[in-house]
């Protein structure tokens, strides 16, 4: 998915989350109060669906508003952070691409992320191709010797500055991925909390950890202990 489209969808999602945080009456007002007065039991699956939509809403539906507030607040913070990271990552990405076109003669259209990483590590295309052949021999990946795939940094200082820009952009996108993972974890924990409340409010303990992977991604590990 195009990163700009993704940012737009995230912004819409943030507005939706914020709107739900403000419209407490939808989940805690007359609609569900009427169900309580009629003596109808609350549907656990409905509560789960609400928590998946917006963490904390399932708890409100079950009538335990105080238990859901932290999840709703956390979701707003998480999505605000995600949008901020995505916007910063997109802006920095545009910046380093413009810089590479100006100072290394890069034709940015049609190039993938690996290409933009590579040009920050090698002063020019010929140097990269030579080293690649030397190290990987028959398995070497070689860029075509055409103007479309050429780059040549004027100075080492410009190359280093470009690499700093690229690294900064990648850091923002990595943080964005962490935020998406946190949003998913927040929903999972909220759903588990709904199960817990539906079973009478058993005690529980939650621990979450993040680990960087060699390919620059993030692994999230969550441990949940529930006393039923």
pLDDT in tens, 13-40: 554 455 444 444 333 333 343 344 445 6
CA–CA separation, 23 and 34 (whole Å): 18
127 and 182 part of one domain: no
- Contact between 53 and 189 under an 8 Å Cβ cutoff? The reply is no
Query: b vs e for 66-77, b when ≥16 Cβ sit within 10 Å of the residue's Cβ?
Result: ebbebbbebbbe
59 and 99 part of one domain: yes
pLDDT digits (tens, 9 = 90+) for 131-146: 999 999 989 999 999 9
Beta strands in the chain (DSSP E): 203-212, 218-227
What's the full length of the chain, in residues?
A: 228
State how far the alpha carbon of 5 is from the alpha carbons of 11, 177, 181, in Å: 10, 16, 19
List the structure tokens of 25. Answer: 């009456």
Q: Is residue 17 part of a domain?
A: yes
pLDDT at 211 over 70: no
Q: Is residue 216 part of a domain?
A: no
8 and 91 part of one domain: yes
pTM across the whole model: 0.71
96 and 121 part of one domain: no
State how far the alpha carbon of 53 is from the alpha carbons of 21, 46, 75, 119, 191, in Å: 12, 11, 11, 42, 10
169 and 60 part of one domain: yes
Dump the DSSP string for 9-61: HHHHHHHHHHHHHH-HHHHHSHHHHHHHHHTPPPPHHHHHHHHHHSTTHHHHH
Beta bridge pairs of residue 124: 152
Q: Is residue 221 part of a domain?
A: no
Of the pLDDT bands very low, low, confident and very high (cuts 50, 70, 90), residue 97 is very high
pLDDT digits (tens, 9 = 90+) for 71-93: 999 999 999 999 999 999 999 99
**Residue 121: domain span:** 111-151
List the structure tokens of 207. Answer: 């621990």
Any residues with CB less than 8 A from the CB of 14 and at least 6 apart, and which?
A: 76, 79, 80, 82, 83
76 and 93 part of one domain: yes
138 and 37 part of one domain: no
26 and 122 part of one domain: no
133 and 89 part of one domain: no
Q: How far is CA 54 from the centre of its chain?
A: 17
User: How many structural domains is the chain composed of?
Assistant: 2
183 and 78 part of one domain: yes
């Amino acid at each position: 998915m195009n990163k700009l489209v993704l940012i737009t969808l995230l912004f819409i999602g943030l507005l939706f989350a914020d709107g739900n945080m403000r419209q407490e009456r939808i989940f805690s007002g007359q609609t569900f109060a009427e169900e309580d007065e009629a003596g109808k039991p609350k549907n656990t699956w409905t509560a789960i669906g609400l928590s998946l939509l917006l963490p904390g809403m399932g708890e409100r539906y079950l009538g335990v508003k105080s238990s859901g507030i932290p999840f709703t607040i956390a979701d707003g913070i998480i999505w605000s952070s995600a949008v901020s990271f995505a916007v910063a990552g997109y802006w920095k990405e545009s910046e380093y691409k413009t810089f590479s076109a100006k100072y290394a003669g890069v034709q940015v259209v049609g190039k993938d992320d690996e290409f933009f990483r590579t040009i920050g590590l090698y002063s020019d295309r010929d140097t990269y191709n030579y080293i690649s052949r030397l190290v990987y021999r028959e398995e070497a990946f070689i860029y075509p010797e055409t103007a479309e795939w050429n780059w040549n940094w004027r100075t080492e200082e410009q190359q280093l500055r470009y690499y700093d820009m690229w690294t900064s952009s990648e850091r923002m996108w990595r943080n964005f991925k962490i935020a998406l993972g946190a949003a998913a974890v927040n929903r999972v924990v909220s759903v588990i909390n709904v199960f817990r409340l539906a079973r009478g409010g058993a005690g529980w303990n939650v621990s979450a950890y993040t680990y960087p992977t060699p390919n620059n991604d993030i692994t999230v590990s969550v441990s949940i202990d529930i006393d039923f």
